[in-house]
Amino acid sequence: MEESQDINRRSFMSIATWAIGALISAAFAIPGVAYIIGPALRGREAQEWIRLGSTSKVELNVPTLFKARIQRKTGWIVNEEELAVYVRTDNGRDFVAMSNICTHLGCRVRWISDQDHFFCPCHNAVFDTEGNVASGPPPRALDRFEVKAEDGQLYVLGG
């Protein structure tokens, strides 16, 4: 005996409706998932050299503050930030670049030329001309940047 299963009109319409709904859902879901997880799958972007300014602005043994505007991209969000760096030199050829952010709580430090040290106003922290902790609560010296001088211009590595 042969049994044949005929699909009636109601069953066919139900299957067709579900199939069309699945196609439409897939058409929206696949690009949506790619949009959300795409940035996480990309590799980390390489750091680039950021131009600070002329080497002639840096006086011997005096930290000089340079500021540069940079754009940082995190996933789909692009933020514009200001990078502030103190640069000093002993001989006019070799440069040292230090962050102006205190390693204790992230306050901005400033150079006090009368006393030859960096001062953080948040908790009276003091750093010497090399950025090492002289007194106060900071756990470590000021952060350093890799720096290079080319064609009379200073660059720090950041990204």
Q: What is the pLDDT of residues 62-101, one digit of tens each?
A: 899 999 888 877 767 888 888 899 999 988 888 999 999 9
pLDDT digits (tens, 9 = 90+) for 21-71: 999 999 999 988 888 887 777 655 557 889 998 988 988 888 999 998 888
Alpha-carbon torsion (73, 74, 76, 77), positive or negative: negative
What's phi and psi for 38, nearest 5 deg?
-55, -50
CA distance 8 to 90: 91
Comparing 40 with 9, the larger pLDDT belongs to: 9
Q: What architecture (CATH level 2) is domain 48-158?
A: 3-layer Sandwich (2.102)
What amino acid occupies position 159?
Answer: G
What strand order describes the sheet that includes 144-145?
Answer: 64-74, 77-89, 95-99, 144-145
pLDDT digits (tens, 9 = 90+) for 90-137: 888 889 999 999 998 889 999 998 998 999 998 889 999 888 999 989
Give pLDDT, residue 47: 72
Considering just the CA atoms, what is the radius of gyration of the chain in Å?
30
Number of continuous H segments (helices) and E segments (strands) in the chain = 1, 11
